[in-house]
Amino acid sequence: MTVQPKIVRTISLIRDIEQVQEFCAFVLTYDLTSYTRHLHIERKALYPRFSGDGLEDFFKHPPNPDVIFARILGDVLEKAEHLESLDLDGTEMILQSESQFGAKLIARPPTVRLRLSDVGEKNFAGLGALRSPPSIALSPTELTMMSILFNADAHRFSYMAPFFALNAPTLRAIELGLDLSA
């Protein structure tokens, strides 16, 4: 089968977990991972039951990590040598469900932009060795956000310090998703 590599340059996965798994299997089977430049995966593709703005249910009853596809997605990231941007919702559950996912992200981060949402304090600290692209957007989990809001300790962001210290020379745009309006 001859496949045009252009069909995998910019990918947005929004439907369901089967779509994500099929995409990952496809690019791995046909050795197309190096052609993927932009990868966007929405929360509803990972956790269809928890796709609205109200994520209270998500944190009260998190999805079963056994059904999460983190291993095959990690394999795609590991081989996507020309990935420019990664936009990943639901990062915390992926990091919790697959121990090697964080290591694979650290080993081969995107070169231009990285957006991770729902990152908990523990897993963010684990990503401290990540070489960030020039543009990064981070959103903590609601539980981490509550800890930040209600913790008067001046060191409440200290877990982010190693990451920013490592990446200070190359960072050009930083977006922290700290929505204080709620």
Q: How confident is the model at residue 154 (pLDDT cuts 50, 70, 90)?
A: very low
Q: From its phi and psi, is residue 133 left (phi > 0), alpha (psi between -120 and 50) or beta?
A: beta
The answer to pTM > 0.75 is yes
| 60 occurs within a structural domain | yes
| 182 occurs within a structural domain | no
CA distance 95 to 105: 10
Residue 10 predicted with pLDDT over 80: yes
Residue 150 tokens, joined: 């209600």
pLDDT (average), residues 16-36: 92
Q: What angle do CA 102, 106, 107 make, to 5 degrees?
A: 115
| 181 occurs within a structural domain | no
Residue 178 predicted with pLDDT over 90: no
Give the per-residue pLDDT at 54: 47
CA distance 34 to 3: 13
Looking at every residue in the chain, the average pLDDT score rounds to: 79
Give the per-residue pLDDT at 5: 78
Domain count across the chain: 1
Which residues, in sequence order, are bridge partners of residue 176? 138
pLDDT (average), residues 132-136: 90
Q: Which domain holds residue 122?
A: 5-176
Spatial contact of 93 and 68, defined as CB atoms under 8 Å apart: yes
Give the per-residue pLDDT at 83: 96
Q: From its phi and psi, is residue 78 left (phi > 0), alpha (psi between -120 and 50) or beta?
A: alpha
- The pLDDT > 90 percentage for the chain reads 31
Q: How confident is the model at residue 58 (pLDDT cuts 50, 70, 90)?
A: low
Residue 81 burial class via C-beta count within 10 angstroms: exposed 0-12, middle 13-18, buried 19 and up: exposed
| 44 occurs within a structural domain | yes
| 135 occurs within a structural domain | yes
Q: How confident is the model at residue 148 (pLDDT cuts 50, 70, 90)?
A: low
- Range of lowest pLDDT (54-68, 95-109, 155-169): 54-68
Instruction: Report the 10 Å Cβ neighbour count for 59.
Output: 14
| 169 occurs within a structural domain | yes
Q: How confident is the model at residue 66 (pLDDT cuts 50, 70, 90)?
A: very low
Give the per-residue pLDDT at 93: 79
Residue 157 burial class via C-beta count within 10 angstroms: exposed 0-12, middle 13-18, buried 19 and up: middle
| CATH code of the domain covering residue 133 | 3.80.10
